[in-house]
């Protein structure tokens, strides 16, 4: 006999049923409502072209991956990375693992060598939530650092970085520091992000630095 659902589960189900983007994702056959966040970010900031060469971090379950593929021609390319399997129907071969780990970074570097320097790094990575705000915020900022490191390693001059973050302690200072490396850095919240969530996205465009062999920016 199935157990009775908890009150929190009932609240979650009610919210899902009322959510416009959840319903629309289901109607369109999208694996998640996150698809629409990237659609809106792309429309606002003109992130993707047919020839874009893209690194996507935190690709699972594939909502962003499928959208990126729909925007690219054969002259573009996508490298997707996630420790979990992408469940969406996509053509891109996903690198399974955690960016920043040596074996995964070697695979990314090899893919970038074949594809060419990247135009865009996208990160929808999110921490495992503890429920403790300060802990979750710190973990979110660590993932922002991981995405930034990937960008400084593999972006072409003038390229862009988009990453998920949580509004909270440390984010404004983090963004201010990245304005020394990118021409434009803003914090934005697409309509598809839940209004009661601290989730925001940092959009950095006009990359102006490259890493030297010992890891500094030049």
Q: Where do the structural domains in the chain lie, given as residue ranges?
A: 33-207
Please give the residue that has the higher pLDDT: either 210 or 130.
Answer: 130
182-188 vs 199-207, strand pairing mode: antiparallel
| 197 DSSP assignment | S
**Chain mean pLDDT for the chain:** 87
Pick the CATH number of 33-207 from 3.30.365.10, 3.40.50.150, 1.10.10.10, 3.40.605.10: 3.40.50.150
Give the separation between CA 95 and CA 196, rounded to whole angstroms: 33
pTM of the model: 0.85
Task: Specify the pLDDT at position 20.
Answer: 54
Nearest C-alpha neighbor of 78 from the set 31, 120, 35: 120
**Integer-rounded Cα radius of gyration of the chain:** 18
pLDDT in tens, 55-70: 999 999 999 999 999 9
What does the pLDDT average to over 150-175?
97
Q: Which residues are catalytic?
A: 164
Nearest C-alpha neighbor of 42 from the set 152, 120, 96: 120
213 pLDDT band (50/70/90 cuts)? Answer: very low
What does the pLDDT average to over 122-128?
95
* DSSP 3-state percent helix, strand, coil across the chain (nearest 5): 40, 25, 40
In SS3 terms, 108-149 reads as: HHHHHHHHCCEEEEEECCCCCCCCCHHHHHHHHHHHHHHHHH
């Amino acid at each position: 006999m199935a157990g009775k659902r908890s009150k929190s589960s009932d609240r979650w189900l009610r919210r899902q049923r009322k959510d416009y983007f959840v319903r629309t994702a289901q109607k369109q056959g999208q694996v998640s409502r996150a698809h629409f966040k990237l659609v809106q970010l792309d429309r606002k900031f003109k992130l993707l072209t047919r020839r874009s060469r893209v690194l996507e971090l935190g690709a699972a379950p594939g909502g962003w991956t499928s959208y990126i593929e729909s925007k690219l021609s054969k002259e573009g390319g996508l490298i997707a990375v996630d420790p979990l399997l992408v469940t969406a129907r996509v053509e891109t071969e996903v690198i399974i693992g955690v960016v920043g780990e040596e074996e995964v970074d070697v695979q990314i570097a090899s893919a970038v060598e074949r594809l060419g320097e990247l135009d865009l790094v996208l990160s929808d990575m999110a921490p495992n939530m503890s429920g403790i705000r300060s802990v979750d915020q710190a973990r979110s900022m660590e993932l922002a650092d991981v995405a930034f490191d990937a960008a400084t390693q593999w972006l072409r001059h003038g390229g862009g970085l988009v990453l998920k973050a949580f509004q909270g302690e440390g984010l404004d200072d983090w963004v201010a520091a990245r304005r020394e490396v990118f021409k434009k850095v803003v914090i934005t919240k697409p309509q598809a992000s839940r209004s009661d969530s601290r989730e925001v996205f940092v959009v950095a465009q006009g990359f102006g630095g490259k890493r030297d062999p010992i890891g500094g920016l030049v």
